[in-house]
Amino acid sequence: MKFIDEVTLFASSGHGGAGCVAFRREKFIEFGGPNGGDGGKGGDVLFHATSNLSNLLELRHHPHQKAQNGGHGQGKNRHGAAGRNLVINVPVGTVITDAETGEQLADMTEEAKTVTLLKGGRGGQGNARFATATHKTPRFAQPGEEGETRRLKLELKLMADVGLLGLPNAGKSSLITRLSAARPKIADYPFTTIKPSLGVVSYKNGLSFVMADIPGIIQGAHKGAGLGHRFLKHLERSGILMHLLDISFMPERNPLEDFSSVCHELSMFSSELGEKEQIVVISKLDIPAVRENLPEVKEWFKKNGTPLFPVSSATGEGIPELLDEIARRLWGKPEEEW
């Protein structure tokens, strides 16, 4: 199934029903007077956040959404029925903006959050409303008000406690597969991850957190290079960033330059994203070259006061220590201190 995280909708609320022009006509009642009913109100357009949806694919196939119009008024003072509201379900984490002005209209960050963005038009009044002592037979009624129409942009930003980032083939997908039930594609070539994956990671004492894996970030990602530009936004809502480094290619490639390059792309995309705290993880510890290069890399990061967490997704080595560090960052202390 395709992962769709951006769609444009043309949404319209319902038109109000027209008021009715009618007069009472019954035997033996010579001057019954006006009895035209009011039109019904048009339906509203509401957006509802639900965790049962993971992307915006359904709305991509139905870009035009319209609420029901209000019913017209009828004789005998019968009012038109109100139009049914249109409720559009979106994934939790969806940001809704006006596509014309760029104004943010709603941020659906909570489960079951519901907002009304377009109001239905009011129904017109029937001629019975306009009868007075001096004008007993009004032969006019109000038309219903038009509904609102808006071009909306919906943008999904994944909600996760921990966001994985790094260059392509850094081992992100292998790590999330080791820690959770998520099963992204894993292969020995870059950009095997072409859509974000979410996984729930169990810790201890029933505690758990959500981890997000996004496609690898390359130089120029903030300008659209590779796949990073499209998916960097999914890291904005992550509480902690976990930065994976592959040091098995030393000395052909400098891991410190790789690290700095990814951090630069984050800062260029968003200053807030660039300032998020990071946990630096050395991946693929089961590879002999990684163990050989680890002391040198540790020395580099020690100068900046950055601790490293070497792990192997294949053997599980270093995973408990990494989870304890995540627990400290998320909840203030690891499980044994609770």
Q: Give the residue-averaged pLDDT of 81-108.
A: 96
Residues of the domain holding 284: 162-337
Q: Which two tokens stand for residue 269?
A: 């995309």
Taking the C-alpha atoms of residue 330 and residue 312, their distance in angstroms, rounded to an integer, is: 22
Residue 247 lies inside a defined structural domain of this protein: yes
CA pair distance 71, 83, nearest whole angstrom: 7
Q: Where does the pLDDT of residue 318 fall: very low under 50, low under 70, confident under 90, or very high at 90 and above?
A: very high
Q: What is the DSSP letter of 128?
A: G
pLDDT tier, 183 (very low <50, low <70, confident <90, very high otherwise): low
Query: Do 257 and 321 sit in the same domain of this protein?
Result: yes
Tell me if the bond preceding 138 is cis, omega within 30° of 0.
no
Q: What is the pLDDT of residue 2?
A: 64
Percent of the chain with pLDDT over 70: 89
pLDDT at 94: 95
In a domain, 174, yes or no: yes
Total domain count, the chain: 2
Among 129, 135, 127, smallest CA distance to 22 is for 127
Please name the residue that has the structure tokens 């994203």: 273
- Considering the domain architecture, whether residues 127 and 182 belong to the same structural domain is answered as no
Q: Which of 67-71, 111-115, 259-263 has the lowest mean pLDDT?
A: 259-263
* Integer angstrom CA distances of residue 313 from 171, 202, 242, 281, 309: 8, 16, 14, 11, 12
> Tokens 């129904």, residue?
123
Share the mean pLDDT of the chain.
88
Amino acid at 331: W
Whether residues 149 and 179 share a domain: the answer is no
Query: Looking at the structure, do residues 204 and 118 belong to the same domain, yes or no?
Result: no
Write the CATH number for 30.
2.70.210.12
Q: How confident is the model at residue 278 (pLDDT cuts 50, 70, 90)?
A: very high
Q: What is the DSSP letter of 272?
A: H
**Distance in Å from the first CA to the final CA of the chain:** 41
Instruction: Using the predicted structure, report yes or no on whether residue 4 has a pLDDT greater than 70.
Output: yes
Domain boundary (103, 137, 156) is at 156
pLDDT at 102 over 90: yes
The arithmetic mean of pLDDT across residues 243-257, rounded, is 90
Mean per-residue pLDDT for 101-126?
97
pTM for this model (two decimals): 0.79
Residues 109, 156 contacting (CB under 8 angstroms): no
Cβ pair 17, 80 in contact under 8 A: yes
Per-residue model confidence (pLDDT) at position 336 = 55
Least confident of 48-52, 94-98, 223-227, 230-234: 223-227
